[in-house]
Structure 1
Amino acid sequence: MSWLDVMSGEAPLVVAIPHAGTDLADVGGFRSEWLARRDADWWVDRLYGFARDLDATVVRTGISRSVIDVNRDPSGASLYPGQATTELCPTTTFDGEPLYAGSGPDEAEIARRTERWFVPYHAALAGEIARLRVRHERVVLYDAHSIRSHVPRLFEGQLPLFNIGTFGGVSCAPALSAAVQGICAATGQSHVLNGRFKGGWTTRNYGEPDKGVHAIQMELAMRGYLEEPEAPDEANWPPDFDAGRAAPMAAILGDILQCCVRFAEEAQ
């Protein structure tokens, strides 16, 4: 499928990239195509381009999260009750601006998008995890994300640079989250474990440490690898990807992914 990239490796690590896509496919009615693409996890696929050198499996969708968010509960239940968030098929941006000129997708349209994009994405993810579990006693699922550093509707002030989510310690062994947190702490940069972003549907659905699948989410503040303008607009957003600017962050993330592989291989 042209919108779904599955690059299979043999290391006990799956890197999921659900939100770097900008393809609006056949979905119309958006007030602005730029607005419908603005909240992408910009350039995360390029930032983690080194993952294939680790023989990791990478599963990436090119579909925009504004079409369907493959990291949301397919039932429509909120992942963060009582807090602002966006839906399975979002009707607003992160800042609360309406995405559609009209009322947005109805139940039939949400069901169509779910069947067309959500179901195949997760079938691929589940299939790759199952394939690796045949060979490895442990597999780490690493869900790769990023977001603007300032989104007042979602969180106060400036987001920490590294936001590690393990669904409150449920989705992976404490040893793995502690090791990842230790790498982040050693950088001297701001970091938090299970803060505002505790892990989305992917982390919560697949993380079963007692069955050998350890899931962890990393939400990066974008300032860590690109130049964020104070106020994004159509003239300055998204910033271009600068490999040199992103290199220090990529090196840290390389250490983190290698740590995930070592953790999984300890069980062999």
Structure 2
Amino acid sequence: MTDTPWLTVVRGTAPLLLSIPHTGTELADLESRLSSPWTARCDTDWWIEKLYDFASGLGATVVRTGISRTVIDLNRDPSGASLYPGQTTTGLCPTETFDGDDLYRHEEDKPDAAEIEERRRTYFDPYHAALQAEIDRLRATHDRIVLYDCHSIRSVLPRLFEGTLPVFNLGTNDGRSTDPALQEKVRGILADTGVSYVVNGRFKGGWITRRYGQPDKGVHALQMELACRGYMREPGDKASPENWPSEYEAAFATPIREKLLTILQSAIAWANG
């Protein structure tokens, strides 16, 4: 295991690499410029590192950051181009929450181009260098590997999507980031859960899935975006400091953990097959 103040890499030998880019809560000394620490952390992928803490026991490699997505979003195109043209989304260094609330106190507090570039060099580039290094290491001993990008989001966010999000949202960049056989294998598992799911719906995969998913080179990338209600108690109203995030309850999360375990075990078996 390698561990810096904000980047953790746990190495395994199975043909499975987990990326966890959005569970960080560290704000890189920006608190005085931000509207509030809670607002800055509101869109964190809460407790995903706990939900998948069984992965290393399967022999998977796990790369995770402690830096908040408010500082820099490691799953966005570093050029600043939108991954979902025509749809509302947040950028490389967001200035608004998913609800549309301002992240910064004043206009002059927002990062300019030079600061965005500095954040990219400091946090974005090292995270992606770590991902690439682990891909290369695993590909040296496996003909094919699975890169599984772990995410979650609140179930109802009218600014981003209509209605209530399915519990499981599997993204493969419209089938371009993985072999169809692996996509179908995971889709079948989701169908058997009896829980709502979609493949390549609102969330087709972010920069990580699109950048590294190269089936012709033996790297098969999946993004799993979970609706938070699948493993934690979501508020009925808009999230606030009084109701969000709810605590992680292991018993409440057990049913979805069992499904995720099946998915990861199947991904390893497929890669080894």
Structure 1 CA distance, aligned partners of 2:180 and 2:30? 41
Structure 1 CA distance, aligned partners of 2:116 and 2:135? 27
Deviation, 1:255, is 0.2
Residue 9 of structure 2 aligns to a residue whose secondary structure is strand
Residue 54 of structure 2 aligns to a residue whose secondary structure is helix
Tell me whether 1:5 sits opposite 2:12 in the alignment: no
Tell me whether 1:100 sits opposite 2:107 in the alignment: no
Residue in structure 2 matched with residue 126 of structure 1 by the alignment: 132
Residue in structure 2 matched with residue 30 of structure 1 by the alignment: 34
Residue in structure 1 matched with residue 249 of structure 2 by the alignment: 242
Residue 219 of structure 1 aligns to a residue whose secondary structure is strand
Residue 146 of structure 2 aligns to a residue whose secondary structure is strand
Structure 1 CA distance, aligned partners of 2:30 and 2:15? 36
Aligned mate of 1:201, from 207, 218, 234 = 207
Residue 181 of structure 2 aligns to a residue whose secondary structure is helix
Deviation, 1:102, is 1.8
Equivalent residue letter for 2:156: H
Instruction: Compute the TM-score of the two structures, normalised by the length of structure 1.
Output: 0.98
Residue in structure 1 matched with residue 19 of structure 2 by the alignment: 16
Structure 2 CA distance, aligned partners of 1:188 and 1:171? 26
Residue in structure 1 matched with residue 224 of structure 2 by the alignment: 218
Deviations 1:200-239 (A, max 9, x none): 0000000000000000000000000011011221111110
When the two chains are superposed, the root-mean-square deviation of aligned CA atoms in Å is 0.6
Tell me whether 1:254 sits opposite 2:261 in the alignment: yes
Structure 1 CA distance, aligned partners of 2:235 and 2:133? 39
Deviation, 1:252, is 0.4
Tell me whether 1:175 sits opposite 2:181 in the alignment: yes
Instruction: Compute the TM-score of the two structures, normalised by the length of structure 2.
Output: 0.96
Deviations 1:71-105 (A, max 9, x none): 00000000000000000000000011111112210
Residue 21 of structure 1 aligns to a residue whose secondary structure is coil
Moved more, 26-35 or 179-188: 26-35
Deviation, 1:26, is 2.2
Structure 2 CA distance, aligned partners of 1:102 and 1:20? 26
Residue 135 of structure 1 aligns to a residue whose secondary structure is coil
Q: How many residues align?
A: 266
Equivalent residue letter for 2:69: R
Residue 261 of structure 1 aligns to a residue whose secondary structure is helix
Aligned mate of 1:112, from 112, 118, 121 = 118
- What stretches of structure 1 of length at least 5 have no aligned partner? none
Deviation, 1:25, is 1.5
**Identity between Structure 1 and Structure 2 (%):** 60
Matches within 5 A, 1:45-60: 45-60=49-64
